[in-house]
């Protein structure tokens, strides 16, 4: 009985009976809980530092260098592309300029053709000439204007008696070969005076004059030349317009054969090209009052055709007609014509058959089969005493009478 009683007391004590507090063995005190939390926190810090280490400075530098290289590559590519684009733009500039120049030439050509067609149409309406499909007027091969003066009646008669066909032969030359030949003269200072009446009477007899709205005078040859091209262009639609002096012998068929070879050149300037000295001294023949425009004393002129004979294509005649009011005239008409073409896209054709000497020069060449197109004496700027010698030059240096009729242009 005592034994059982003691066991019950012990159990009661274990269950917290009596005066002592009840304590469970499986529980932890607050102090130990705090210490465990603090320890866990410290252990967590140590673990975190090992797992998440900061990158070393070298690695940062290496990454930065790689990024810089990438940036450089990108910027280098952009720079190269920019340079290539600039080169492409620079390369386009000359092509653009060439295109603009070609366009300017095309516009200029169209303006000349328009002016020529307009002049041809107006003229055809006035005289009722037969019209062609292209220009509204018959197309001729060439118009030869023989520059003459009031006092040159004997020279004109010597030309009529030799190389210039007369009457029915001249009309046949115009109709079958498309070649027009006229003496070119203006009027005197006193219009309608005795000089003009003499030319009117001569024209009624021969019908071979072209009258210009121009006052005759030696110092006005440049103005007369310009007036000739303007008037000839408005009167006849031709491929070529030729100016020749009345003291020069011409073989028409040979001249035509020379011109035919240059049909493919729209702006042809054909003659014997020269470059003589600019004469600044007053009182001498061919004195140039505007010598200072040609540079230093003793300089030479630019290349131009000698004034005895030269030919220009229709486009150049149209250019003169369009710009006649602004073309500057120098003292010498051949220099003036050459100056009008400076700066233009003109084909200068130098053919020495257009400036042969008289016999024996032209005679030897004719015997060798190289017949000259034009003959004169350089010392006289024409055939010396041409009224008396033209017939002799024609007999020795002229082409056969049938040559012109068998020629094909």
Residue-wise pLDDT for 21-72, tens only, equals 444 445 567 777 777 777 777 776 665 555 445 545 444 445 555 555 555 5
Query: 139: phi > 0 → left, psi -120 to 50 → alpha, else beta; which?
Result: beta
Question: What pLDDT does residue 120 have?
Answer: 53
**Average of per-residue pLDDT across 196-218:** 95
Residue-wise pLDDT for 175-184, tens only, equals 999 999 999 9
Question: What pLDDT does residue 62 have?
Answer: 52
Q: What's 349's domain CATH number? A: 3.90.550
When computed from its CA atoms, the radius of gyration of the chain, rounded to whole angstroms, is 52
Residue-wise pLDDT for 10-21, tens only, equals 444 444 444 444
**Average of per-residue pLDDT across 359-385:** 94
371 in any annotated domain: no
Does residue 360 have a cis bond before it (omega within 30 degrees)? yes
* Residues above pLDDT 90, as percent of the chain: 56
Question: What pLDDT does residue 390 have?
Answer: 98
230 in any annotated domain: yes
Which residue range forms the structural domain that includes residue 239?
140-272+306-355+400-406
Q: How far is CA 208 from CA 59, 148, 383, in A?
A: 106, 12, 22
Q: Token digits for 43?
A: 């252990």
Distance CA(230)–CA(146), nearest Å, equals: 15
Of 235, 270, 248, 260, give the one whose Cα is nearest residue 164.
248
Q: Is 212 exposed, middle or buried (0-12, 13-18, 19+ CB in 10 A)?
A: buried
The number of folded domains in the chain is 1
196 in any annotated domain: yes
Residue-wise pLDDT for 242-281, tens only, equals 999 999 999 999 999 999 999 999 999 999 999 989 998 8
**Average of per-residue pLDDT across 80-94:** 58
Q: Token digits for 309?
A: 């004979």
More reliable by pLDDT, 307 or 118: 307
Mean pLDDT across the chain, nearest whole number?
82
* Residues above pLDDT 70, as percent of the chain: 70
208 in any annotated domain: yes
301 in any annotated domain: no
266 in any annotated domain: yes
Paired strand residues for 311: 242, 270
Q: Is the pTM of this model over 0.75?
A: no
Question: What pLDDT does residue 61 have?
Answer: 46
Distance CA(234)–CA(125), nearest Å, equals: 12
182 in any annotated domain: yes
User: Is it the case that residue 84 has pLDDT exceeding 90?
Assistant: no
Residues whose CB is less than 8 angstroms from the CB of residue 345 and which lie 6 or more positions away in sequence, other chains included: 105, 267
Residue-wise pLDDT for 123-135, tens only, equals 444 444 444 444 5
260 in any annotated domain: yes
Q: Residue 345's CB: how many other CB atoms inside 10 A?
A: 13
Q: Token digits for 128?
A: 């009722």
């Amino acid at each position: 009985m005592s034994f059982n009683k003691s066991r019950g007391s012990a159990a009661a004590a274990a269950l917290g009976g009596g005066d002592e507090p009840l304590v469970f063995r499986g529980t932890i005190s607050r102090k130990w809980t705090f210490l465990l939390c603090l320890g866990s926190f410290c252990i967590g810090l140590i673990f975190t530092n090992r797992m998440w280490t900061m990158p070393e400075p070298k690695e940062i530098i290496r990454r930065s260098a790689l990024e810089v290289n990438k940036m450089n590559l990108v910027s280098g590519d952009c720079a190269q592309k920019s340079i290539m684009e600039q080169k492409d733009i620079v390369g386009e500039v000359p092509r653009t300029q060439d295109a603009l120049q070609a366009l300017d030439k095309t516009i200029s050509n169209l303006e000349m053709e328009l002016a020529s067609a307009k002049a041809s149409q107006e003229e055809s309406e006035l005289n009722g000439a037969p019209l062609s499909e292209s220009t509204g007027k018959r197309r001729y091969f060439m118009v030869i204007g023989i520059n003459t003066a009031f006092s040159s009646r004997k020279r004109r008669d010597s030309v009529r008696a030799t190389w210039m066909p007369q009457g029915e032969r001249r009309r046949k030359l115009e109709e079958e070969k498309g070649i027009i030949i006229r003496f070119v003269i203006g009027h005197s200072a006193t219009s309608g005076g005795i000089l003009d009446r003499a030319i009117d009477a001569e024209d009624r007899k021969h019908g071979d004059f072209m009258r210009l709205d121009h006052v005759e005078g030696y110092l006005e040859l440049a103005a007369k030349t310009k007036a000739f091209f303007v008037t000839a262009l408005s009167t006849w639609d031709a491929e070529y317009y030729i100016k020749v002096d009345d003291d020069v012998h011409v073989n028409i068929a040979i001249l035509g054969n020379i011109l035919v070879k240059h049909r493919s050149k729209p702006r042809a300037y054909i003659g014997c090209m020269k470059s003589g000295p600019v004469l600044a001294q007053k009182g001498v023949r061919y004195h140039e009052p505007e010598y200072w425009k040609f540079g230093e004393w003793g300089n030479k002129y630019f290349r131009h055709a000698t004034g005895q004979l030269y030919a220009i294509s229709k486009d150049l005649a149209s250019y003169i007609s369009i710009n006649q009011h602004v073309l500057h005239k120098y003292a010498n008409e051949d220099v003036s014509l050459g100056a009008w073409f400076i700066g233009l896209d003109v084909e200068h054709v130098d053919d020495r058959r257009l400036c042969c000497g008289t016999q024996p020069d032209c005679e030897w060449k004719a015997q060798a089969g190289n017949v000259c197109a034009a003959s004169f004496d350089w010392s006289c700027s024409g055939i010396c005493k041409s009224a008396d010698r033209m017939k002799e030059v024609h007999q020795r240096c002229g082409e056969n009478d049938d040559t012109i009729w068998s020629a094909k242009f």
